[in-house]
Amino acid sequence: MSSGHSQDKKSHGSFQSQMRGNHCYGCGKDNPGGLRIDSNWDPDDANVSICEFTPAAHHCAGPPDVVNGGIIASLIDCHAISTATADRFRREGRQIGDDGDQIAYATASLEVNYKAPTRLKGQLTVRAEIVETKGRRTQFEVSVVDSSGSITAEGKVTAVQVPTAWVKPDGIFPDD
């Protein structure tokens, strides 16, 4: 569960809180300037993960009471990528962030359909459902629900497993 930058409401058992070396803008606990979302498995459906996020005023679009579309796309993207990582650890019978080889995923494709303006006030719920897992790829259908209970955006994400070099402290381009 996430509440934007509010640390006091974060779940210590979220996928992201267990990942090592995650500097991602959307889901990285190691990025103090990012969204720092938290994702957890839905207790009622093993193929679904849930992220709750409370946007801050600076996440607004042109209208100050609407969430920026790029923030919504980041929520959809990062929630799915974190879920793909957690699912791979789970399928291997491992704990996220254990001492073994790290698992990392990146976005192969992202499609976002905005259905309605997303209210800035209140909590957003992002729901990612695993549609297919094949080899190194996992496909998701994702929805965003605002505080009024309306589905305001839907997305499709294809996550692809990438080399463990992606989680090295100096990045994948260390000579830059």
Model confidence at 5: pLDDT above 70: no
Average pLDDT of the residues of the chain: 90
Within a domain: residue 175? no
For the ranges 25-29, 40-44, 136-140, 172-176, the lowest mean pLDDT is seen at 172-176
* Overall pTM > 0.75: yes
Residue 91 in domain = yes
Instruction: Please give the pLDDT value at position 170.
Output: 77
Q: What confidence tens digit (pLDDT) does each residue in 48-80 have?
A: 999 999 999 999 999 999 999 999 999 999 999
Does residue 172 form part of some domain? no
Kindly state whether residue 138 falls inside one of the protein's structural domains. yes
Q: pLDDT tens digits for 72-89?
A: 999 999 999 999 999 999
Q: Structural domain of residue 105, as residue ranges?
A: 7-167
The CA distances from residue 88 to 9, 31, 84, 122, in Å, are 26, 23, 6, 32
